[in-house]
Amino acid sequence: MFTTENSTDVMLTKGPTTPYYFEFLDEQKRKILEIALDYVVIFSIFGLGVVTNLLVIVVYAKQGFKESVAVSMTTIAIWDLFKCIAGIMNNFSGILSLFNPAAAFSWLNISTIVFNGVICFSSYVTSVMAAYVAVERCLCVTVPLKVKWMLTPKITLTASLVISVVVFGAFAVMFAIYDVHWVWSDTFNATVAIGVKNNFYLTHVGPLFTYYNLSGILWPLAAFVVILVATIIIIYKLREGAKFRLGQSSAKAQQPDEPSSSQGKSQEQQKQQQNLLKRDRQVVKMLLVIIIIYIASLAPRIAHYLTKYIVYDFYFLRRHHYLFEFVNYGIMLADSSNGAVNFFVFYSMSSSFRATFRSMACRTK
């Protein structure tokens, strides 16, 4: 949340709905915590995310986007890259304040208007894209023969572009509610930038924030439900297939002795079946990891927006201002971690991704 020159005095005295703010932490501890989270922890995670998402994009580009999943995962990596770059730019004021406090103050106000929205809205896009990937994998398990022509890389690219435009565009109106004004500051003895709510905001404040709050709940909630349902179906189908293959294997083992050549073939088939079972278990593990990641990322945001929508005082410059800011830091930490972790998931659980990355790393040496 950007501030005006005298906003600290305002926040520490009276709020618009109750006589005094509810103090979540004392001012000194709060400042130390904000500095540690903003300029050390979250800034570092966003920096890591820039590197890891660039690696994901390069690896999938090297593989040639021959499979639809490569297109969808690259789209997620691109949006996560935008999110991480926006996170670095948003927190750059901390470094800038060491050299030019007035410029840092202006940077904070402008970057909050621009980059906070990019961080938040790109998270919505990636959550919907994750839901699309879950549906895509579900179709691969339930109708494997038809899905090859149903979900080609071109179709997935079109779907990814539509999801990106529709979801991000649904929130783009929020970039138009503030104007940047340059005013003289006696504190900094310089001209600084501040954010001012414009006429568009004042005219449509009621329906605008109702739409924004409901959208902030419905998009991630719908994505979460789709991911959960699709994953349950996938796990059920994989277990069903594994039981069927085990039944076939045990039935063949109970048959009378066969010639040595036939035994060799049956042993080879058993090895292939064991490899398939191992791959199925690996897919299940990867899906569980994805569920945990998106539960950790989406659940706090959904709870946060529901609380903000129900509890009026749970917002900036109201009774629970500081608690609201603290929860925002938790959501930012979840978003930054979710945006940086994909490379490690792909590397540890995808043999093709790992092999491509290793071959590229060996060539650079």
Residue 336 lies in a domain: yes
Residue numbers of the domain that contains 75 = 26-357
Beta bridge partners of 195: 180
11 within a domain of the structure (yes/no): no
pLDDT reported for residue 216: 83
Distance separating alpha carbons of residues 97 and 107, to the nearest angstrom = 10
Question: What percent of the chain lies above the pLDDT cut of 90?
Answer: 33
Say what the pLDDT of residue 2 is. Answer: 41
Share of the chain above pLDDT 70, in %: 79
What band does 38 get if pLDDT is binned at 50, 70 and 90? Answer: confident
Tokens 């783009």 — which residue? 172
Query: Residue 201 and residue 176: Cα distance in Å, rounded?
Result: 8
Average pLDDT for 65-92: 92
What was the pLDDT predicted at 33?
A: 81
Report the domain count for the chain: 1
Q: Is 262 left (phi over 0), alpha (psi -120 to 50) or beta?
A: alpha
Helix (H, G, I), strand (E, B) or coil at 258: coil
Domain of 43, CATH number, reads: 1.20.1070.10
Task: Provide CB contacts within 8 A for 278, sequence distance 6+.
Answer: none
Classify residue 363: in a domain, yes or no.
Answer: no
Instruction: Establish if 10 belongs to a structural domain.
Output: no
What is the structure's pLDDT at 13?
Answer: 35
Beta-bridged to residue 196, according to DSSP, are: 179
| Total number of residues shown for the chain | 365
H/E element, 166: helix 153-171
Residue-wise pLDDT for 171-191, tens only, equals: 999 998 999 999 999 999 999
Closest Cα partner for 220 from 125, 336, 307?
125
User: According to the model, what pLDDT value does residue 251 have?
Assistant: 57
Q: pLDDT of 227-282, one tens digit each?
A: 889 888 888 887 787 676 666 655 555 555 555 555 554 555 555 455 545 655 66
Nearest to 227 by CA among 147, 143, 298: 298
Task: Identify whether 187 is part of a domain.
Answer: yes
Q: How confident is the model at residue 4 (pLDDT cuts 50, 70, 90)?
A: very low
**Residue 270 has what pLDDT?**
54
Domain assignment present for 210: yes
Question: Amino acid letter at 67?
Answer: E
Phi, psi of 191 (to 5 degrees): -85, 130
Q: Residue 149 corresponds to which tokens in the numbers above?
A: 């022509």
Bigger pLDDT: 215 vs 19 = 215
Q: How far apart are CA 338 and CA 336, in angstroms?
A: 5
* Residue 2 included in any domain: no
Q: Which residue has the tokens 């990019």?
A: 118
- Is 225 inside a domain boundary? yes
Rounded to two decimals, the pTM is 0.81
